[in-house]
């Protein structure tokens, strides 16, 4: 079973999602266990202060290092030895490869920042990874934590119930997924491609591969370049 810890100022934001849909079913089936850790529990003043003004001046508040270090120190040894991910706009972009790597481990700990920033000593002295969802800024790390948990949990054995469902996702083989269609075959003059109605599985597989390549080449030339490099 994969154990996922999330250190956050707002566990009430994350908890409902983890109890619902695929993350909730995965927990009920014993494939994953969640622990939400309130950062304020690891402060030592009566106001439970977790932030302070940045050295050097400037706007905003910075989350202090001590609560993060103490929160992680409270975890079991396996968690402390596993990936400890700081969610940060400065981080490397989270990818499907990261999701696969995390899904193959026994523990994953996510550190959700908030306010202006997190003290750099957390990134340098505590986190094993610093990851971002993309080139944009969120109000806090909670939405990023939810996204990463979802991406990881759906890869755990038996969670989706159909390995091919995950295997057909975008990025699984380095390509975007092909277009999907369902009933009706004709809607307002827009028709499902004839090959998908043919029942010829070989032709359908070839069409899907060609569409995946076309979409990746057109929409994500960066991924296409990586894919082509791996093929040669």
Q: What is the DSSP string of 102-147?
A: HHTSSEEEEEE-BSSEE-HHHHHHT-SEEEESSSS--SBSHHHHHH
| Residues 6-32, mean pLDDT to the nearest whole number | 98
* The CATH number, out of the four listed (3.40.190.10, 1.10.260.40, 1.10.1270.20, 3.40.50.300), of the domain defined by the range 168-231: 1.10.1270.20
Domain 2-153 matches domain 168-231 at the CATH topology level: no
| Residues 187-215, mean pLDDT to the nearest whole number | 97
Distance of CA 190 to the CA centre of its chain: 34
Residues 6+ apart with CB under 8 A from 75: 5, 109
| Residues 152-169, mean pLDDT to the nearest whole number | 74
In the chain, domain spans: 2-153, 168-231
Q: What is the pLDDT of residue 216?
A: 96
| pLDDT at residue 168 greater than cutoff 60 | no
Write out the DSSP string of 64-114: -HHHHHHHHHTS-HHHHHS-EEEEEEEEEEP-HHHHHHHHTSSEEEEEE-B
Pick the more confident residue, 231 or 56: 56
**Average pLDDT value over all residues in the chain:** 94
CA geometry: angle 71, 68, 21, nearest 5 deg: 70
> With bands split at pLDDT 50, 70 and 90, how would you rate the model's confidence at 135?
very high
| Residues 40-63, mean pLDDT to the nearest whole number | 96
| pLDDT at residue 7 greater than cutoff 50 | yes
Class of 2-153 in CATH: alpha beta
Strand order in the sheet with 32-38: 32-38, 2-8, 107-112, 84-93, 129-132
Tokens of 27: 């927990």
Q: Count of CB atoms within 10 A of residue 112's CB?
A: 29
- Residues 105 and 147: their CA atoms lie apart, in Å, by 18
Q: What is the pLDDT of residue 164?
A: 45
| pLDDT at residue 169 greater than cutoff 90 | no
């Amino acid at each position: 079973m994969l154990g996922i810890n999330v250190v956050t100022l707002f566990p009430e934001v994350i908890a409902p999602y983890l109890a619902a849909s695929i993350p909730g079913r995965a927990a009920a089936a014993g494939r994953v266990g969640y622990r939400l850790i309130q950062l304020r529990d690891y402060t030592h003043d009566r106001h439970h202060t977790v932030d302070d003004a940045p050295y050097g001046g400037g706007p905003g508040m910075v989350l202090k290092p001590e609560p993060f270090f103490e929160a992680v120190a409270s975890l079991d040894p396996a968690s402390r030895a596993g990936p400890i991910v700081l969610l940060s706009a400065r981080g490397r972009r989270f990818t499907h490869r990261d999701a696969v790597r995390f899904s193959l481990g026994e523990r994953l700990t996510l550190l959700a920042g908030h306010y202006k920033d997190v003290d750099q000593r957390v990134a340098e002295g505590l986190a094993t990874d610093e990851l971002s969802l993309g080139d944009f800024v969120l109000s806090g790390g909670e939405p990023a934590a939810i996204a990463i948990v979802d991406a990881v949990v759906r890869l755990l054995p038996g969670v989706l119930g159909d390995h091919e469902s995950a295997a057909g996702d975008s990025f699984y083989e380095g390509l975007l997924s092909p277009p999907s269609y369902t009933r009706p075959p004709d809607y307002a003059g827009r028709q499902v491609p004839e090959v998908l109605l043919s029942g010829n599985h070989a032709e359908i597989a070839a069409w899907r591969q060609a569409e995946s390549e076309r979409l990746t080449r057109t929409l994500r030339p960066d991924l296409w370049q990586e894919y082509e490099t791996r093929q040669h």
